[in-house]
Amino acid sequence: MVSDDQPVPVFPKPVTLRDVAARAGVSVATASKALNDQGRMTAETRERIRETARSLGFRPNSLAQSLLRRRSFTVGLLTNDTYGRFSLPLMSGISDALVDNGVSVFLCNVEEDPRLGQLHVEAMLDKRVDGIIATGKRIDRHLPVDLANLRIPVIYAFTQPDPDAVAFVSDDAGGARLAVEHFYRLGRRRIAHVSGPASFAVVHARAQAYRDVLAENGLPVTDPLLGAWSEAWGHEAVAHLFDGKSERPDAVFCGNDQIARGVIDALRERGLDVPGDVGVIGFDNWEIVAEATRPPLTSVDMNLVALGREAGLTLLSLVGGQPAAPGIRKLPCRLVVRQSCGRSPDG
C-alpha cells in the first residue's frame, strides 16, 4: 500500500511504431514495412528506420506480428520424462535453436496419461502454436497421445515417432562402440558388459555393438549381464563377474552411469583399484553422477543438447514451408574421458 506522502511510481510510456515513424520522418506504414523487412525502399532508408527503432528501444507488438504473419512464434514441447533427465537437455538445445528466431518454447508433461496428453495438445492448438516437438524417456515407446493429422508440423526427439514422421535419436550402437574400442586401445582385453532391462531397445543395440567390437578384434565374446537401471544392480553384477569360474574382467562397460557407480563401489569393497585393476565406463554422461563418482566416471554422452538443436532447426524449416524427408535421423554420441578407465601403456 502506498501512503499519501510517498510518491507514486511513474513508469515510462512504451515506445510505439508511431514514435519511430515520427523520429525517422516517415509514415507509420513505411516504418512498419522497414521493420518487417517488407515493401520497396532504399537500403539506406530501411537501415535508418531500424537504427531509429533501436535507439528508441522500440519493441514490436508480438501479438500484432503474429496476426500479420499468421504465426504465434511459440512451439510446444510434450514429454513424459517426469524427472527431466532427458527432456531438459533436449529443451536447452531446442531453445538455443529457436531463441534467435524469436520463438518461445513451453513445456507440458503428459506423464503416462492419455487424457492429460490430449488436454495439453488441445491447449497448444488453442494457443495456435507453430509446431510441436514430442520427446520422452525412452526411444522405443510412443507418448500416450495422438499427434497425427494435427495440421501443424510435429517433430519427434528421443521417443518413438509416428510412421512417416521426422525423428531424431542418439546413435546408441555407435556410442557403445566408442566405449569398447576405447577400452581396447587402452590395452584392456577382458571386457564385460553390464546393462539394463531386456525390455529396452537400446539395451540390445548397445549389447550388439559390444559383441561386434570384441569379435572384430579377436577377443572373447561374453554375454552381457542384464538387470535394472540402478546402482544396486551394478553392485550385484560384480559378484556375478568376480565370484564365478570365468576369467575376471579387466574392464566393465556399463549401460548407464548409475550401474557404473554401483560397479565401482563393489570393486572398491573387494579391494580392487579403479582403474588400476579394472577400468569402468558408463553411458549417459549424467554429470551429477559421473563427476561425483570416485574416481570420476568416463561416460558416453548422447549429445542431447545437439539433438534438441537439430530438432528445433528442423521444426523451424517445416514451419517456414521447407520440406523435410521423413525418417529417423541418428546423431553421433561422444566419449567424455575421465579417470575411471585408465590410460594407455604409452601414456
For 242-268, how does the pLDDT look when each residue is reduced to its tens digit (9 = 90+)? 997 778 999 999 999 999 999 999 999
CB 58 within 8 A of CB 15: yes
Segment among 108-112, 140-144, 245-249, 299-303 with least mean pLDDT: 245-249
The band of 230, judged by pLDDT with boundaries at 50, 70 and 90, is very high
Greater confidence (185 vs 10) lies with 185
Q: What percent of the chain has pLDDT over 90?
A: 64
Question: Cα(234)–Cα(196) distance, rounded to whole angstroms?
Answer: 10
Write out the DSSP string of 219-264: PPP-PPEE--SSHHHHHHHHHHHHSSSSPPPSEEEESSHHHHHHHH
Whether residue 2 is predicted with pLDDT greater than 60 in this model: the reply is no
Question: Cα(91)–Cα(311) distance, rounded to whole angstroms?
Answer: 10
For the stretch 47-95, pLDDT in tens is 999 999 889 888 765 544 543 456 778 899 999 998 888 888 999 999 8
Residue range 19-39: average pLDDT? 84
Whether residue 278 is predicted with pLDDT greater than 80 in this model: the reply is yes
Q: What confidence score (pLDDT) does residue 236 get? A: 97
Whether residue 231 is predicted with pLDDT greater than 90 in this model: the reply is yes
Whether residue 8 is predicted with pLDDT greater than 80 in this model: the reply is no
What is the DSSP-derived secondary structure letter of residue 147?
-
Query: Would you call 75 helix, strand, or coil by DSSP?
Result: strand
Question: Cα(167)–Cα(153) distance, rounded to whole angstroms?
Answer: 12
Dihedral of the alpha carbons of 61, 62, 68, 74, in degrees to the nearest 10: 180
List, edge to edge, every strand of the sheet that includes 298-301.
Answer: 225-226, 191-195, 251-254, 279-283, 298-301, 334-336
Greater confidence (313 vs 343) lies with 313
What is the DSSP-derived secondary structure letter of residue 339?
G
Domain annotation for the chain: domains and CATH numbers = 17-58 (no CATH), 72-170+303-332 (3.40.50.2300), 172-301 (3.40.50.2300)
Query: Counting Cβ atoms within 10 Å, is residue 29 exposed (0-12), middle (13-18) or buried (19+)?
Result: exposed
Write the CA distances from 117 to 2, 64, 111, integer angstroms. 45, 30, 8
Helix ranges restricted to H, the chain: 17-24, 28-35, 43-56, 62-69, 87-99, 114-126, 172-185, 201-216, 231-242, 257-269, 287-290, 304-319
Greater confidence (6 vs 164) lies with 164
Whether residue 100 is predicted with pLDDT greater than 90 in this model: the reply is no
Q: Which residue has the cell 569402468?
A: 280
Question: Cα(98)–Cα(93) distance, rounded to whole angstroms?
Answer: 9
pTM assigned to the model: 0.79
Nine cell digits for residue 17: 511504431
Q: What confidence score (pLDDT) does residue 344 get? A: 58
Q: What confidence score (pLDDT) does residue 68 get? A: 43
Q: What confidence score (pLDDT) does residue 63 get? A: 41
Both ends of the chain: CA-CA distance in Å?
Answer: 70
Residue range 216-226: average pLDDT? 94
Whether residue 11 is predicted with pLDDT greater than 70 in this model: the reply is no
Q: What confidence score (pLDDT) does residue 34 get? A: 85
Dihedral of the alpha carbons of 32, 38, 42, 46, in degrees to the nearest 10: 40
Residue range 109-118: average pLDDT? 92
Question: Cα(312)–Cα(90) distance, rounded to whole angstroms?
Answer: 9
Q: Give the residue from 97, 81, 102, 138 showing the smallest Cα distance to 308.
A: 97
